[in-house]
Amino acid sequence: MLSSTTRPEEQYLYPEFILARQLLSAHNVEAVIADASHLRYEAGRLSIEGKPIDLVYNRVTDFAFDQPEHRALRDAYRDGAVVVTPNPHNHALLADKRNLSLLSDPATLEAWGVEPSLMAHLRSVPRTVVVTPEIADELWRSRKELFFKPTGGHGGKAVYRGDKVTKGVWAEIQRGGYVAQTLVRPSERMIKFDEIHQVRKVDVRLYTYSGQVLLVAARLYQGQTTNFRTPGGGFAPVFVITASGVDPLL
């Protein structure tokens, strides 16, 4: 098994990789952490430094494996020579932000015959449209109520709140590869940091597998997007209040 990313020792969550490797080792699963560009694919076998690899836990943000340095991983995946999780198919099906333009469009969902109960849940998805030259002028006029995100982005990179967009940035956005999403202002919580009460924005995340929620966690932050750099910020526990009491979910 391989945990694959780019320059793993420089990643913010590298200690997490180490813990995962130790856990797998304790269960007799040999695992290595490596830069995906160091993989080799020869004679129908993916390997790293001569060690055969049958499963890759993928942390590469080149989601379609388009970059030349990921050719070995791409070819092995396409040939079915290795299990990759998550893989380009997963990303295209579930993570490409253009999907939101469909999931937030009631007319499309109704035409698909989506059940009313599911439609009710999907109403919480902020209205999203794909940026195209045909609607660029309209989006520019209403930009203060929008948030612009790259369709295949990650980690808050190259995202822009509409009221902060400059003419130069807009020229790049309207070329394509972006979605425009109705701005949803984050909720806030008060924390005590350095003996001072301070406000932090809150982002709640649901970690799921096969349609089931496995974990709920929150991120506290300041700024335009979530981050781990805000003093007093980072992960925070979530408590769900039910009729029977309070259940911690973390």
Reported confidence tier of residue 33, pLDDT bands at 50, 70, 90? very high
**Buried/exposed 141-170: b ≥16 CB within 10 Å, e otherwise:** eebeebbbbbbbbeeeeebbebeebeeeeb
Does one domain contain both 81 and 105?
no
* Whole-number pLDDT of residue 64: 92
pLDDT at 2: 61
Distance CA 5, CA 7 (A): 7
My answer on whether 103 and 151 are in the same domain is yes
Give the confidence band of 227 by pLDDT, cuts at 50, 70, 90.
confident
Task: Look at residue 13 in the predicted model and tell me its pLDDT.
Answer: 82
Give the up-direction half-sphere exposure of residue 63: CA atoms within 13 A in the CB hemisphere.
Answer: 15
Residues 11 and 76 in one domain: yes
Q: How far apart are CA 64 and CA 87, in angstroms?
A: 8
Residue 1 has pLDDT above 70, yes or no: no
Whether residue 94 is predicted with pLDDT greater than 60 in this model: the reply is yes
Instruction: Tell me if 182 sits within 8 A of 145, measured CB to CB.
Output: yes
% residues pLDDT > 90 (the chain)? 69
How high is the pLDDT of residue 247?
A: 65
* Lowest model confidence (mean pLDDT) among 6-10, 68-72, 95-99, 178-182: 6-10
Q: Where are the beta strands (DSSP E) in the chain?
A: 2-5, 32-35, 40-42, 45-48, 51-52, 55-58, 83-85, 128-130, 146-150, 160-161, 178-182, 187-193, 196-209, 212-221, 234-236, 238-242, 245-249
Q: What is the band of 239 on the pLDDT scale with cuts at 50, 70, 90?
A: confident
Measured distance CA(212)–CA(192) in Å, rounded:
34
Structural domain tally of the chain? 3
Mean pLDDT to the nearest integer, 15-29: 93
Domain stop point among 39, 69, 91: 91
> Is residue 6 domain-shared with residue 85, that is, in the same domain?
yes
Q: How confident is the model at residue 38 (pLDDT cuts 50, 70, 90)?
A: very high
Residue 107 has pLDDT above 80, yes or no: yes
CATH of the domain at 9: 3.40.50.11290
Q: 91, 122, 139 — which closes off a domain?
A: 91
7, 87: one domain? yes
Whether residues 85 and 6 share a domain: the answer is yes
Looking at residue 171, its pLDDT comes to 94
> Minimal CA–CA distance to 162: which of 177, 187, 182, 176?
182
* The one-letter amino acid at 118: L
Query: What is the reported pTM?
Result: 0.76
> Is 173 in a helix, a strand, or coil?
helix
Residue range of the domain that includes 166: 99-182
Closest CA to 99 of 130, 77, 74: 130
**pLDDT over 70 (residue 4):** no
| CA 106 vs CA 20, 76, 113, 239: distances in Å | 42, 40, 11, 32
CA 212 to chain centroid, in Å, comes to 18
104: its two tokens: 């937030």
| Residue at which a domain ends, from 40, 61, 91 | 91
Q: How far apart are CA 66 and CA 56, in angstroms?
A: 17
